[in-house]
Amino acid sequence: MRRTSALLLAFLLLPSAHCLASAGEPAAAFQQPADPPSGHLTHEGHDHESMQLDSKPEPLVGVEERLGQRIPLAVPFVDEEGREIAIGAAITRPTLLFPVYFSCTAICSVMLANLAQAINEVPLELGKDYSVLAVSFDEEEEPPLALAAKRNFTRILRSDLPREEWRFLTGEKDAIRSLTDSIGFRFKRTGEHLFIHPNVLIALGPDGTIIRYLYGPRFLPFDIGMALTEAAKGTPGLSIRKLLTYCFDYDPESKSYMLRSFRLLALGILAALGIFFFLLVRKRPSQP
């Protein structure tokens, strides 16, 4: 009798767990920091303090996300050592693509430093699980400047991380435009080595497929790790971390991974039911 009642209770709880797993609003989030004050950075672009810009929104600057599309792998760039390389040759594993310009002394430098700090805490191995490409969108910049930037920002990395897996590329105007157009990255030159541009880090699959956009100025190790594991599978929006992606959803509005508390509760119920059934099956009927 007790066993029958227990089985009935278990079957009543199973639909509840299923409903909890598929419903509910996010209760907590691993969010990107709030936008900085006006004049520095927004998700649509940024301005340096020395630049005098009209207050009207700039229609040509921003990001048009192109998830699932591939970047042109044959486009030629030059690395920090002055070696010409097709960008596809530098993408042999999941890759973080970071469009910046190296002569920027304001927000670009801050974001590069923030990225270096985040890489130190990403729960994946640089050089084995992923690589990083910082690509200048200023065609006037050359390899010596890229090398100086690399030396500056890779000093922030932990000593055990391979510096050669973070490459700094420069290129000609046509190559830059081909790459930035393919990722939906729109920027505008406003002076000599001055630009208005979006602040975004892009996770690419090993074949150059665009998997995820992460917005700066600060990048969280958790978000980077989730984006890279999605990139390892090569399918936008899907992660190979089964448990985490069951409990976390990517929210395109907040640009962060949201914790689904209802799903977490459902996991707890299902785990309890599994233990209950296991103990029930193992329990031998008592001898009269």
Task: Look at 40 and 81; give whichever has higher pLDDT.
Answer: 81
Name the least confident of 74-78, 112-116, 180-184, 253-257. Answer: 253-257
Residue 54 pLDDT more than 70? Answer: no
How far, CA to CA in Å, does 188 sit from each of 29, 44, 62, 195, 214?
Answer: 33, 12, 10, 6, 20
| Domain ranges for the chain | 2-24+263-282, 33-238
Element (H, E) at 202: strand 200-204
Q: What is the pLDDT of residues 21-36, one digit of tens each?
A: 444 443 333 333 344 3
What is the chain's mean pLDDT, rounded?
A: 75
Residue 63 or 48, more confident: 63
User: Rounded distance, CA 274 to CA 284, Å?
Assistant: 18
Residues 6 or more apart whose Cβ sits within 8 Å of residue 102 = 108, 134, 136, 138, 141, 145, 146, 148, 149, 168, 170
Residue 99's beta-bridge partner residues? Answer: 135
256-259 β-sheet, strand order: 28-30, 256-259, 248-251
The class that CATH gives domain 33-238 is: alpha beta
Task: Give φ, ψ of 152 to 5 degrees.
Answer: -70, -50
Is a pLDDT exceeding 60 seen at residue 247?
A: no
Q: What distance in Å separates the CA atoms of residue 87 and residue 183, rounded to the nearest whole number?
A: 14
Q: What is the pTM of this model?
A: 0.64
Condensed to tens digits (0 to 9), the pLDDT of residues 196-209 reads 898 899 999 999 99
Phi, psi for residue 78 in degrees, rounded to 5: -125, 130
Tell me the C-alpha distance between 223 and 84, whole Å: 32
pLDDT tens digits for range 67-103 = 999 999 999 999 999 999 999 999 999 999 999 999 9
